[in-house]
Structures are given as C-alpha cells and as structure tokens.
Structure 1
Amino acid sequence: MADNGGVKTESVSEPSSLTSALLARLREVIHASGGWLPFDRFMAMALYEPGLGYYANQKPKFGQMPEGVAGQGSDFVTAPELSPLFGHTLARQVAQALVATGTDEVWEFGAGTGALALQVLDALAALGQAPRRYTIVDLSGSLRERQRATLAKHADRVRWIDQLPERFEGVVLGNEVLDAMPVQLLVRIGGQADGRWHERGVVLSEVGALAWAERPTDLRPPLAIEGPHNYLTEIHPQAEAFIRTLADRLQRGAAFFIDYGFPEAEYYHPQRHMGTLICHRAHRSDDDPLADVGEKDITAHVNFTGIALAAQDAGMSVLGYTSQGRFLINAGLLDVAKDAGPRENAMLGKLVNEHEMGELFKVIALAPAESAEGWVPMGFASGDRTHRL
C-alpha cells in the first residue's frame, strides 16, 4: 500500500448486505484513486451512490420513531415530521415572497417524505395563493415515490426534476439540505513541530477495512485557529458551489435555507476542536462515518458565513439570517397555532425553544439583487443576525 501520510485507524463491524455491496464499490474507487480517497468523495458515495448510498436506497429515513416502534423504522425526525405548524408557518413567508418577487412557482430541494411540500401547499391554498407549480428537486428515487403518495391531492401542481434548469424563477426552499452536502475534513496535528494542516481521507487497511489516513495539504479553514492543540474541522466547498450555481440560475425570486449550523466565528472557535461531523441511525448519533456505510446518515453543521459570502460573491443579496425559533415567531407561528391542542403545543415548543431546535437551527434568506429591493421578509422582522455572519 502507498504511503498515505498519516496513521490509519480502522472501523470494523459486521456488514449488512447493503453495506457489503457499497464497501465493494468503495474499494474499487479507492484502488482507482491510488489508495486514498478524499472524505468528500467518500461522503458523496456513502450518501448518494445509486442504489446503495444512504439517500439512494430503499431504507426508511424520516419519522418520529426508530425501528420496531410504530412500524416506522426511521433514523431521524425533521421539523415537518414534528408538526404541520412548521410548514403552515413557513407558507406565510413563502406567500409574502411570491408576491414581493412577482413569481408563481415554489422550488424545494431534498423534499424528504413530502411532508413540508404538503404543508406549504395546503397552507398556500388556504391563503388563496396556491402557486402555479411546485417543483421538487430530488435525487432519491425511493423518496420520490413516497413524496408522490404524500402529495397525491396536489398532483396537478407538483413535478419532479433531478437537476436545476439553466434559468428559473420562484421561491426556493431547502430544509436540512445544506448539511447533507459532502465536506472536506482538515486536521491539524498540534504535536508536530510545524503544526501543519492535513486533509483526512479514507484508505483500506491490510484486511480491507475502511480506515482514516491524512495527507499534507495547502487547504485551510477560513479562519486561523488559535492555539497549538490538535484540531479537526470541516470546510464546505460543495455547499458553497451549490449556492453559486443557484445564484447563477435564479433569475428572479428568493431562497430560504433552514439548517443547523453557526456563523464562522462560532464554527471555527478554538474550543470546537472535534469538528461537527456526525452520523444518525435509529434516532441515535455517533461519530464514525466509516462504520455501516449506506445504513446511516452522515452530516456536518453549516458554516452560514461561508454560505452568505458565496451568495454575495455571486451577486445575490442576503435578506436575513436568524434562529429558527425567531423566524417562525416572526412569521406568525403563534397565530397559526392558536387553536392547537396539547400535543401540537408540545411540538411547537420543540420547534422554537432555545434548548431544542429553536436556537441550533438557523434560517438564511438569499435573493438576486433586483428581487431583494423594496421588502423585508417577515421572518426577519425582528432579531435579524445578519451582522453576526
């Protein structure tokens, strides 16, 4: 095996048939890549390899209960699965944005079960602002089928595509989309004399198991990390490239992205020395993406400063940035929930409380320069944190 520039650590577990098939494919690609695969390429395969990756296979992903409970077998829950109040409130923001930008189509990236699309379409219809069309951009065939069933009553308005057109208009939604985009891993070994940065990748051990290995790199985090200690973190070139592509193709409209993450100064704080990469399976989390590949989600928090800068560099304006809790309250969540029962009120708390999703999740809104003029999205009417990006 070639010198891979770092000490390998293995991840060994009893593989399922799905994992075995994906491992076989990964071994082929690692060999073809000279024995070392950058983590972003590994993550892309683990999540999206056709028929084998986590989002490309038939296993259930979304729901409130793990396997064996209520027949769901889900790995994690997103806000639309927690409560329809989430989508019904977001629809108010979408309605305002459609009018302000003079557009009549909603675009959703990574629509999951279709729950958010259903909530938004139902609420827009109730407001008398049903869009001409609701377009879902999703690469997962199995999720598309679930979405079709969920959205059957809106079949005349919904369409599916697997890539963006060269030019389009409308209001874009992305709930927990940016966190699923592959990241590169950077490691600084503080004990070394020069404290050099390395890129972490994936190799094969002597027994063919997946293992970590680092190579020296000229890549750096966007902020200097103070102190001599060991430090592991992520950079997000694919998410930022996605935003630049969006900026190039969205001619008129606005985009709202909701995800967990931080501004740059918090993301690359010296104390966050273990990074944010995490895996989800059966409503439990772990930090070993090399184990059970294809069977669990792999994700990293979003650097919202990087997203904002990528948008601005590509000619878009940042309309606002705030916490999910503040955004939903500004957009009228309490009015939407005025007739909610005890269970819905409990779920409402999860959406907005600081110790739940309310603070960890953030919302950022972007728009082409001409579409940004003359209005303020209601979700950022108070508590806007754009100045902290």
Structure 2
Amino acid sequence: MLRSTAATALFALALLASPAAHARTQPPAEKPACGGDLGAFLEGVKAEAMALGVPASAADEALAGARIDKKVLSRDRGQGVFRQTFLEFSKRTVSQARLDIGRQKIKEYADTFARAEAEYGVPAAVITAFWAMETDFGAVQGDFSTRDALVSLAHDCRRPELFRPQLIALIEMVQHGDLNPQASVGAWAGEIGQVQMQPKDIIKFGTDGNGDGHVNLKDSEEDVILTAARFIQSLGFNRGEPWIQEVTIPDGLPFEKTGLGGPLTAAEWFALGVAPRDGNTSFGHLKASLTLPQGRMGPAFLTYPNFGIYLEWNKSFIYTTSAAYFATRLAGAAPYDKGNPEAGLSPDEMKVLQEKLQALGHDVGKIDGILGGGTRVAIQKEQQRLGLPADGWATQALLGAL
C-alpha cells in the first residue's frame, strides 16, 4: 500500500508495501464483497461492522453520504514506476532543510521521544526520519476524503479483500471518536496522518500521547511519535541495535555475497577489509548484509537486522535505504561518500537487459525497466558467471557481455 503522500510527489512506490495492507477474514458470501449497487454494498459493510460489535449508529455516521471517488480509482490504476537511483532520490529527500527541522523536532519533543524509546526501544532518529519522509513533518498529508477513498477501493473489485477491512476499521475509529468521516482527508489509498498509517494499524497501535483520550495522528505530534514507535516495534525493531552503517570497501571482495540476505556477520565483513566510516565495530556479532545501491563504486552500507523494519514499512529498496540513511544522519552520522559509480542503464536498456536475463532462465518479474530485487539477484549471478565483479549493478559492460 502506498504509505507516503509527500514521497509520491517524487516517485510512485510499489503497491501493497506495508503490513497495514494485511486483510482480515473475508466477509460472508451473502454480503456484496465488491461491485454492484453502492447502497447494497454499504449495507453489507454495515452488517459486517455490527457483527464485530460496532454500533449501528457508528456505521451509519461513518457511511452517510459515502460516494465513489473516480480520482482514487484512477490513482490506483495509474501508479507510476520508480526510476530514480539511490543518489538521486536520497539527495532530494535527505535535504539539509529536512535535517534541520528533524533535529529541531527531536529537541522540541524530547520528553515524548524519550518515552517512546523507553517503552518501545525505538530511537528518536528512526521515528523522525519516517515522519519527514512520509509527510514533511505533517505539512503534506493528502487531500482525499479518507472515507470515500476506502469506500471506492473496497467497492472496486480489484482488491476488495485488502481495503474492505480498512473501511471496517475506519468505522471503528468513528465509534471511538477519533475520526470525522465527513471531514477527514489523507492519501488516496486511505492512509491518515503525519506518518501515513491506515485505519487497521491505528486501531491496533494508536497511542494517546497527549492524554486527551483520543488518537489524533493528524494534529497531535505526541500521538504521532508514540504511535509510530509502537508500530515500528511491532515490525521487529531490536532495542539498542543499529539499522544501517556506512562503510568503505576494498577491492577484491567476494561481491557475490553482497546484497540483502547475505550470509556473513559484520565481523566477517570487517575481517575482509570492510571498514565502518564511524569506526564503530562493536556490532560484529550481528548478521550484516553489504548493500551497494549503485554498485561497488558508489556508496556502501552494512545493513543489520533492524533494517528489516524499513522493508516492512515500504518495499521500495531505494526508499528504505534512503530512510535508513536519513535516520543515521539525524543520529549524528556524516554525509555518505557518494563515490564514483559506473553509469547505469536507461529504462529502455534495462528492459533489454531484463529480457536477456529472462531468456537465460532468471526470474526478473515484470519486464519494466526497473532495477528491482529479482533483477539485482539475476545480475549478480550473470556477473559471477562472466567473471565480472558481482555487485548487482546494471551497467553497459554487463549488457554488452550478454
């Protein structure tokens, strides 16, 4: 599910990216699951909500005046594809202005951040980076009617099993007095508030940080910080452990072992000459993947188990690496060394490469001109077969060799 309203101004992320998209049990068959008469569909939604213990009055309040928003359906069908490199995207998103505001927010809400780390083990920098990436600290939260967006996507027969449970959860929010169905606006796919969470996650992880008895992720920074921390903890964040660390690398590494899910520990990478730029080698016992977003000549990072929470938040590798790097900057890390990466391929050239890889028996998914995870793995295998450094970066040299 698209999580980010602000980031979509720069690119469109992969659909169904977050755990917020997980569905509840399908409604009984006799209720219209999707399509058909809107009134009959909404009656089915109301009946399902009541079966879960929601008062009829809350369902009536939530669904009164609901309509299909064709702009939402157009967005859902017309998502773009992500073509920026890590250097391009991170340069635009991890700006000095955002860093300055982020550090100011950490100082301003120091007590709330301290509570978040004490209770959930999530540092201020990690929360704040997501806060910045998602909505520019609440400045860009979206202008679609949340209720109508979810009605449209649940009624549409493309993926009703994903959106209908979100609509039921929205009715629960109305029941709790945490959402005004007539006035609440957010992202086109139903995300709400300053860290763009969907109703099911707000119901499950929403935390009243300011003590007013409600969870308000649109206007209460305290609620935002504690809810985000609780949600991140649920994704598996390990207290006191790093998430990403910039490193320098020597020539001659076993590049075929690089990439997410690699088999080595940080200490084993250190023994091979990989060196943290911050000098901290105290996490050598942890599993660590050597991640090269633009190949061996570009920036290099060790990603630790906590990096997994970024991939749970959003499946886009470039987004997650940028968000994780952003958090290290807020925590005091120096700017990365951008290096001198080899030129990549154009979208059309990437499609040609994907076709060649597919013809060789590799599963690259859709031929879309995007350097996604499947394509990176296939590239590494072919680079190794051809005697090239197997760093997973698509270059003219590889395309020519194939």
Fold conserved between structures, TM > 0.5: no
- By percentage of residues, which structure has more strand? 1
Question: Which has the higher relative contact order, 1 or 2, with Cα contacts under 8 A spaced 6 or more apart?
Answer: 1
Query: Larger Cα Rg: Structure 1 or Structure 2?
Result: 2
The alignment's TM-score, normalised by the length of structure 2, stands at 0.26
The alignment's TM-score, normalised by the length of structure 1, stands at 0.27
